[in-house]
Amino acid sequence: MTHDKPIVPRSNEDTKQVLNRLRRVEGQVRGIQQMVEEDRYCVDILVQISAANSALKKVGLQVLEHHAKHCVVDAAQNGESDEVMEELLKVIRQFSKT
């Protein structure tokens, strides 16, 4: 069960929050690229990579939370609980690998 769009669309505020977080992560990654170009100390680069990974994971958790609270609940109420639960477990397993 794959959808091109969320079953329950994100609110404008949710979309704005996710995009703002992603822009910050993008800025962090550009900063890391600059650090590499400047041949900065490896430990400093690794610390920044860790921070970017953490920030990106938070974005993922925010999207996952929306999916669980809205898309999964809506699908379950419409009789698609088996399919949507299997999809949710699959995405949680994939997401937790990172």
Q: Is the backbone of residue 39 left (phi > 0), alpha (psi -120 to 50) or beta? A: left
Question: What are the φ and ψ backbone dihedral angles of 97, each rounded to 5 degrees?
Answer: -70, -25
Band of pLDDT at residue 1, cut at 50, 70 and 90? low
Give the pLDDT confidence of 15-53 residue by residue, as tens digits: 999 999 999 999 999 999 999 999 999 999 999 999 999
- Please identify which residue in the block is written with the tokens 């088996």: 82
Q: Where do the domains of the chain lie?
A: 10-94
pTM of the model: 0.79
Q: Which pLDDT band holds residue 78 (cuts at 50, 70, 90)?
A: confident
**In which residue are the tokens 């809205």 written?**
70
In this structure, are residues 8 and 72 in contact, taking their beta carbons and an 8 Å threshold? no
**Class of domain 10-94 as given by CATH:** mainly alpha
